[in-house]
Structure 1
Amino acid sequence: MFEKQPEGLRQKVKLLATEALNKSDPSGWFDRLYSQANRDPDQVPWARLKPHPYFQDWLNKNQPQGNHRSALVIGCGLGDDAEALARVGFNVTAFDISPTAIAWCQQRFPNSPVSYVVADLFALDPAWRHQFDLVLECRNIQALPLNVRSTVIDAIAALVAIEGILLLITRFRQTEAEPDGPPWALSNQELAQFQDLGLEEVQRDSFIEAENPSVQQLRIEYRRARKVR
């Protein structure tokens, strides 16, 4: 979340997140950040204006063919991951809690086939349950505090269709102790909840950030079995 991030921006993000937490609104700070950025991607710490490198690497290695199957991008930000999935043939829905971010996506990609929508991970459309053949969760859970983590994991797992894939990219921590954040890296105990919810882990890749060797990141591919729990 904070790769190559200036200290001033790091502190701004932490202040916005802390204020939102104090108001019991853990995701309420995202739209404030996008709004205050004034369409300057340098003021959005996770904005790369290209697909996340670990996601692009997965696309390159697996060469998925969408064939008009459904895909969902969680917390789509400025839309680059969603556009990458559309390019390989998926019917893509991409959502963000920030109306400003969604409007920014629509401005960047005015002719996109992606359906960009405003939605709240804590109050998703029930019609989305088990509806997506591919769900991409790239570093959204880690931006939310531990006291809502089980709720968020349950919501994300429920989106994956029978025999569908969840691709998860996140920071990882070795201990169950609560880390300082944001971001709050995920632990093995938290990740195990996905399997408890019927998703089988089929591939786990580990990465170390060149800019911050103390940070470990994981890319995990889960698949839902034919029987829905």
Structure 2
Amino acid sequence: MAEPAEDPDVVARRIASESLGQHDPTGWFERLYSAASDGAAVVPWDRGAAHPLLTEWAEESQPDGSGKSALIVGAGTGWDAELIADLGYDTTAFDISPSAVEAARRNHPDSQAKYVTADLLAPPADWHRAFDLVVEIYTVQALPIELQPAAIKQVGEQVGPGGTLVVIAAARPDDQADDAIEGPPWPLTRAAIESFATPDLRLIQVIQSPSPTDPTIHRWRAEYLRD
């Protein structure tokens, strides 16, 4: 009898732990996606469809992307980017993992989105405040807590004048100590969600809702608007 497959979350945490132990907090993404492309791992968050909370936002907001640009942060294998591209946005989707970018291109050969390799912590200069819509889903929470403020700042800095930022993340209570979290992921507190906002990037809506598959897990869906 074949042994049961190992829990994808456990595999991802082990790969992340190895990378962190080598003082490489972002290298584990490539290790995981590369292993997944070889059939040796499963990417836990690769849903085979756009995130339900992004779909919910699109259905509620009915955005018209015609003539507008969008940036998808940590795009993985591309499902969220495809939803945004289908709304008419000129969509750039990036990931730090070349294997993830290759998988996205392979999964969506006729895509209107442009998939590129880039680092959120050091994004291309010409992206600065260049996009009408920026979508961040689960990327910041995949980084160690000490790196999250820098990542949060960079996410917001890509939103152009009059642009919108949508953030989706796992939630945790503000009173839960950082050292009590065994990540990844390292879910975001309400204070962390609010820290995406700046004087000219206003938080206009934040919703916390339970996961439909596990009511003990809550997620944030937040929307911000740059003046």
Q: Is TM > 0.5 for Structure 1 vs Structure 2?
A: yes
Matches within 5 A, 1:58-73: 58-73=57-72
Q: What is the CA–CA distance in structure 2 between the aligned matches of 1:41 and 1:60, rounded to whole Å?
A: 36
Q: Describe the shift of the 1:40–1:46 C-alpha distance in structure 2 as closer, same or farther (beyond 3 A).
A: farther
| Match in the other structure for 1:3 | none
**What is the root-mean-square deviation in Å for CA atoms of aligned residues?**
1.7
Q: 2:174 corresponds to which residue?
A: 175
Q: Is 1:209 aligned to 2:208, yes or no?
A: no
Aligned residues: 220
SS at match of 2:219: strand
Cα distance in 2, alignment partners of residues 210 and 136 from structure 1: 22
Is 2:85 aligned against 1:104? no
Deviations 1:184-208 (A, max 9, x none): 1111222232223632111112210
Shift of 1:40: 5.4
Unaligned runs of at least 5 residues, structure 1: 1-5
CA distance in 2, matches of 1:60, 1:41: 36
> Structure 2 matches for 1:65-84, cutoff 5 A?
65-84=64-83
Counterparts in 2 of 1:209 and 1:41: CA distance versus 1, 3 Å: farther
Instruction: Choose the corresponding residue for 1:198, options 190, 200, 209.
Output: 200
Letter in 1 for 2:19: A
Alignment of 1:1-229 (within 5 A): 8-38=7-37, 43-176=42-175, 177-178=177-178, 179-196=181-198, 198-225=200-227
Structure 2: 5+ residue stretches without partners: none
The alpha-carbon deviation at position 66 of structure 1 amounts to 0.3
- Contact kept? 1:209, 1:215, Cα under 8 Å: yes
Preserved CA contact (<8 Å) 1:39 1:104? no
Matches of 1:75 and 1:40, distance apart in 2? 21
Q: What is the distance in 1 between the residues matched to 2:66 and 2:212?
A: 35
The separation in 2 between residues aligned to 1:59 and 1:42, in whole angstroms, is 31
Is this contact kept in 1: 2:174–2:191, CA < 8 A? Answer: no
How much identity, in percent, do the aligned residues show? 37
Distance 1:170 1:107, change over 3 A: same
CA distance in 2, matches of 1:130, 1:48: 29
Relative to structure 1, is the Cα distance of residues 220 and 36 closer, same or farther in structure 2, using a 3 angstrom cutoff?
same
Which amino acid in structure 2 is aligned with residue 224 of structure 1?
A: R
1:49-77: per-residue Cα shift (whole Å, max 9, x none)?
Answer: 11110101111111111012000000101
Deviations 1:100-132 (A, max 9, x none): 111111111122121100001111101110000
TM normalised by structure 1 equals 0.91
For the 8 Å contact 2:37–2:99, the answer to whether it is kept is no
CA–CA distance in 2 between the matches of 1:41 and 1:63?
39
CA 100–57 in structure 1, closer or farther in 2 if over 3 Å, else same: same
Deviations 1:114-172 (A, max 9, x none): 11000011111011100000000011111111110111011111000011000000011
- Relative to structure 1, the CA distance from residue 149 to residue 138 in structure 2 (aligned partners, 3 Å threshold; closer, same or farther) is same
Give the Cα–Cα distance (whole angstroms) in 2 for the partners of residues 197 and 180 of structure 1: 33
- Return the offset for 1:220: 0.2
Instruction: From the superposition, tell whether residues 41 and 203 of structure 1 become closer, same or farther in structure 2 (CA, over 3 Å).
Output: farther
2:46 is aligned with what amino acid?
A: A
CA contact (8 A) 1:74 1:136 kept: yes
The answer (yes or no) to whether the contact 1:157–1:197 under 8 Å persists in 2 is: no
Distance in 1 of aligned mates of 2:153 and 2:56: 27
